[in-house]
Amino acid sequence: MAKPSAEIGVFGGSGFYSFIEKTRTREIAVETPFGKPAAPITLADIEGRSVAFLPRHGLAHEFPPHKIPYRANAWALRSLGVKRVFGPCAVGSLRGEVAPGDFVVCDQIADFTKGGRDASFFDGDSRGLGLPKSDHLTFADPYCQEMRRAAVAACKKNGVRAEDGGTIVVIEGPRFSTRAESEFFQSRNWSVINMTQMPEVALCRELGMCYANISLVTDYDVGVTGGKPVTHEDVLRVFKENNERLKNVLIDAIAALPEKRSCGCEASSPKIKV
């Protein structure tokens, strides 16, 4: 039997635990040198493209943002041959004009996590994998422009209001922002706030995979419009209401990707053999 493989990966987030109907999928367990990924990986054929889906929080949301096995998740996808990853996620809006239900296809990221996550594969090669003992990642443009164009076009095709570009700030979680923190993030003119994009994006780039984010706005961060503080229940409710739109956007974005990459993301990443 041929080894399971996929060319495109999709990470699921809060409220997004399944992607394609079970009748069209195959589920596999993958082991990595960094432990098990958050859940078994679901393989599917989507518009003629081989796709691997992995819910980053686990099937039952058992991994909070600061405990997600980010390295195992990224390694598992790359071990299947994945070269491009879509990372949809729930976000809070930091700008009044970006409303719940809107999408943002981000082009920049600001990392405000606290250093408690395994944020790189360059840890001294403690597992004897032949990884560089230290390296530096060129990361000025974290999101793949080629994939971003496909995502923006897919949003337009599905009649989804989407911001083309914007900065996503990533906080440690699992708590939401204080009013003072949110006020600072808003003062930088950043677009949205999230808890899982880092180190996920950087780890994928270290492994030579392109990455595009599609942010689904579920709420306003505290103080943005003078509304009440956000709750986790609010996030899940809005995400559930927009799940079908997100699935359709992802399917069309996957179908629109060119067969060969011409973005330069791989060239800017270290050479790690998986």
- Residues designated as active site: 219, 221
| H-helix or E-strand spanning residue 245 | helix 232-256
3-state secondary structure of 104: strand
Task: State how far Cα 16 lies from the chain centre.
Answer: 12
**Cα–Cα distance, 220 to 234 (Å, whole number):** 10
- The answer to whether the beta carbons of residues 91 and 167 sit under 8 Å apart is no
Residues 6+ apart with CB under 8 A from 182: 94, 193, 221, 222, 223, 224
- The answer to whether the beta carbons of residues 205 and 70 sit under 8 Å apart is no
Read off the tokens for 213.
Answer: 């984010």
**Cα–Cα distance, 166 to 246 (Å, whole number):** 18
Q: How many CB atoms lie within 10 A of CB 231?
A: 11
3-state secondary structure of 164: strand
- The answer to whether the beta carbons of residues 150 and 257 sit under 8 Å apart is yes
Q: Residues 33, 39, 42, 47: what is their CA dihedral angle, to the nearest 10 degrees? A: -90
For residue 93, with 0-12 CB atoms within 10 Å meaning exposed, 13-18 middle and 19 or more buried, which class applies? Answer: buried
**Cα–Cα distance, 5 to 114 (Å, whole number):** 34
